[in-house]
Amino acid sequence: MGRIMKKQITRYCPLIAGGIFLLTAAGLITAALHSDLKGENVCQAFLSWAIGVSRGRSELYFAVTVVMTALLGIRLFKTEMHRIKKFLYVLILLCFFVMGFCPLNIVSSVHPSIVFGIHIGAELTYFGLAAVISLLSAIFAKTKAQRIIGLLPVFYAAILLLIPESLRECAGIWELLFIMQPILILQTEQCGGSVNKIQPAAAS
């Protein structure tokens, strides 16, 4: 029983890590909204800025980011995929680590404009790499789930065109959605690899 549970946890490691990060980020933003950012539209702020106003929240966010990056890195190197795609994921994890480190530095002696520039650069690179990973997953999908997850950015783009401008300006929400995108794709890669291993065994 314990071995089966351990196997399931390992299999769904990206989803579990992403869920922990998402809940932590949402909790920290809510805490910021009810304390340091009262009266301000936190939804229009980047995640880094909303969390970075507090040293304690910044450190917690950075700690969760480190743990999540480590878990995803371990899972990545145990997942079978093309070398180019794996290299793109390494860059994505690096950008994610830098984005998590930025809120920690916002309340330090480093000039805010420097930290903001580093964060924006890492974030734009992250989003670009996420778009490439999504496109590759949609084109070379091994399962239906991979194709659906790969096409999510197209769905997001359609929503952005249709929703009111007030919702379109919720930068923090869209930031979280795009941060989760490569994580969901990595999860489908993991499940897809398991399916491919089962099918030859069944055929034999």
pLDDT tens column, 121-144: 888 899 899 989 999 888 888 888
Does 71 reside within a domain? Answer: yes
The count of structural domains within the chain is 1
Residue 198 lies in a domain: no
Spatial distance between the Cα atoms of 192 and 154, rounded to a whole number of angstroms: 22
**pLDDT for 202:** 41
Q: What is the pLDDT of residue 6?
A: 66
Residues 56-85 pLDDT 10s = 888 888 888 888 888 888 888 878 888 888
In the chain, the largest separation of any two C-alpha atoms, in whole Å, equals: 65
What is the domain extent for residue 120? 2-187
Cα R_g (the chain), whole angstroms: 18
The reply to whether 22 falls in a domain is yes
Which of 6-10, 138-142, 152-156 has the least mean pLDDT?
6-10
Nearest-angstrom CA–CA distance, 18 and 75: 12
Residue 116: inside a domain? yes
Helix (H, G, I), strand (E, B) or coil at 39: coil
Instruction: Compute the distance between CA of residue 106 and CA of residue 62 in angstroms, rounded to an integer.
Output: 12
Q: What is the pTM of this model?
A: 0.77
Kindly report, residue by residue over 72-118, the tens digit of the pLDDT.
Answer: 888 888 788 888 888 999 999 999 888 888 765 555 566 667 777 78
Q: 193 pLDDT exceeds 80?
A: no
Asked if residue 182 is part of any domain, the answer here is yes
pLDDT in tens, 26-67: 887 777 767 655 545 555 566 766 777 777 888 888 888 888
For residue 197, being part of any structural domain is answered with no
Is residue 192 assigned to a domain?
A: no
Distance between CA 65 and CA 18 in Å, rounded?
A: 10
Domain membership of residue 196 (yes or no) is no
Does 188 score more than 80 pLDDT?
A: yes
